[in-house]
Amino acid sequence: MDFPATPSNASDSNDYSGATPTQFDATQDNTKRRSSSRSIKRRRFDDELVEYSLGLPGASLGKNEKRIRTQSYTSNLPEFPIIGASSVPPVVPTPERRRASSKISGGGSLGRKPRRKGQLSQLSTKDLGRWKPTDDLALILGVQQTNDLRIVHRGVKFSCRFTVGELQSRWYALLYNAEVSRVAIAAMRNLHPDLVAAVQQQALYSTAEEDLLGTLPSNSHPAPEKFQELLEQNPHVFYPTRTAKSLMAHWQSLKQYQLLPDQTVQPLPKEPGDNIMTFSDAEETMNDSELPDYKEDDIDVEMQLADRIEKKDIRLLENSLSRWQVLVQSVAGGSVELDKNTLAVLRGRLVRYLMRSREIAVGRSTRDHTIDVDLSLEGPAAKVSRKQATIRLRNSGDFFMSSEGKRPIFVDGRPVLQGNKVKLNHNSVIEIAGLRFVFLINQDLISAIRQEAVKVNIPV
């Protein structure tokens, strides 16, 4: 059987059935357009290799190297009769693809086997993120003491919040899952003895233990020796880590919540005519002598600290009374009235300061530093120094202001730097850190002071 010709020359297949691809290329070189002789190296897919080997219309013939590759592929192809020009045997690439996929799948299956073994080995440790060894130990002790998972859920404090279902599943895993049980036991054995002792001290009390504690009457005041005696007489009932102090604390809790056997709750009256005990009646039945007197040291310490703070505040107020040399009055609703005791007035937009001494300090008051003229009453004084300026009255009757703060003071628009002085006249405008004041002088009182100074011949 002859090798099938390409579909493009189907009409000449009888004449050129034995022609080689090289002869075919020679006949087509004259009709082809010139193109680049550089070959494009690209890997071909299986279907392209089949089309290239069979010489289909979509296949393109390259140079000699590609023709040799084509012949090598076509020599291995089985001989199939071609029915039409577009028929391509689909059997050729299928076994190769299936074999490749089977190899891949086989390799993947071989790679998955150790993963499955690793997953099986990690089944026992996947819950160790939430379940700590201390949680397992507390769960085992709680179940051994109470035989009730709901009581364990309510009474045991685990490292995180678990539901009753989670406690049940963990308990069953510890019982019936050998891998989980082995890992949990190994983790609990590696715990520090202090952690084990802390978990055991918080173990729940069993019913038998509470029954023995209930033998002590509620109206008695048993000493720790009584609980120690009870513990020594019943070592098989109490948990090994119980102490007389812990038994006493649990007995007091039972007594507080009315859970001792001899404590009976008074039933409420069912008939309307029965008397209901009021709070005052219940208070009369109590004996104050039986109640223990607890001394609270913390309250005494707090009261002493509060007393010291109040005394300090009173002392500061008493010391500041002597320094109040300036009276502050509200500007709104009143006119400026200078009495015989006021030398001058520093009038602002909201308040006015009455100067009644020969020297006053102007600035900003703090808790530890008081000032005569507190400018924070007029407005925001964050940029004002604690002692911004000093106003003095000389014997001649003239007022001078000395600047002592870091920022300058403006008097009638002229700056006064730190360490300088300026004379204040009547209606002088003083600006300090954005706060403006008008300085008003009591002319009658100043004239009287000048006359006295002239009579006494006091040098100016």
Over residues 230-288, the pLDDT tens digits come to: 999 999 999 999 999 999 999 999 988 888 888 865 555 555 556 677 777 777 777 77
Cα–Cα distance between 423 and 398 in angstroms, integer? 7
Which pLDDT does position 293 carry in this prediction? 67
Query: Would you give the distance in Å from CA 305 to the centre of its chain?
Result: 34
| pLDDT for 32 | 56
**pLDDT reported for residue 390:** 92
Contact between 384 and 377 (Cβ < 8 Å): no
Is the confidence at residue 77, as pLDDT, over 60? no
Q: Six-digit token pair at 167?
A: 């406690």
> If DSSP codes are grouped into helix, strand and coil, which group holds residue 416?
strand
The mean per-residue pLDDT over the stretch 206-220 comes to 91
For residue 104, the model assigns a pLDDT of 42
* pLDDT band for position 195 (cuts 50, 70, 90): very high
Look at residue 336 and tell me whether its pLDDT is greater than 70.
Answer: no
Read off the pLDDT of residues 129-159 as tens digits, 9 standing for 90 and up: 689 999 999 999 999 999 999 999 999 999 9
CATH of 320-456, one of 2.60.200.20, 3.40.50.2300, 3.30.70.1150, 3.30.830.10: 2.60.200.20
Percent of the chain whose pLDDT exceeds 70: 63
Tell me what the mean pLDDT of segment 348-366 comes to: 87
Q: Cα angle at 88 between 85 and 91, to 5 degrees?
A: 160
Q: pLDDT: is 101 or 430 the higher one? A: 430
As a whole number of angstroms, the distance between CA 48 and CA 59 comes to 8
What residue ranges do the domains of the chain occupy? 7-30+39-91, 130-201, 207-256, 320-456
Taking only the tens place, the pLDDT of each residue in 408-437 is 999 999 999 998 999 999 889 999 988 999
| Range from 40-54, 93-107, 402-416 carrying the lowest mean pLDDT | 93-107
Res 265: pLDDT: 57
Beta-ladder partners of 346: 353, 439
Choose between 334 and 312: higher pLDDT.
Answer: 312
Which is more confidently placed, 204 or 327?
A: 204
pLDDT band at 355 (very low <50, low <70, confident <90, very high): confident
How far apart CA 460 and CA 453 sit, in angstroms, is 8
Q: Which residue has the tokens 């407005």?
A: 379
Q: Indicate the average pLDDT of the chain.
A: 75
Question: Burial level of 392, CB count in 10 A (0-12/13-18/19+)?
Answer: middle
Stretch 112-141: mean pLDDT: 66
Which one is predicted more confidently, 188 or 71?
Answer: 188
Q: What phi and psi, each to the nearest 5 degrees, are found at residue 410?
A: -105, 120
pLDDT at res. 102: 42
Note the pLDDT of residue 396.
Answer: 83
pTM score: 0.35
Give the per-residue pLDDT at 47: 58
Average pLDDT (397-418) is: 91
Confidence of residue 60 (pLDDT cuts 50, 70, 90): very low
State residue 193 phi and psi, 5-degree precision: -60, -30
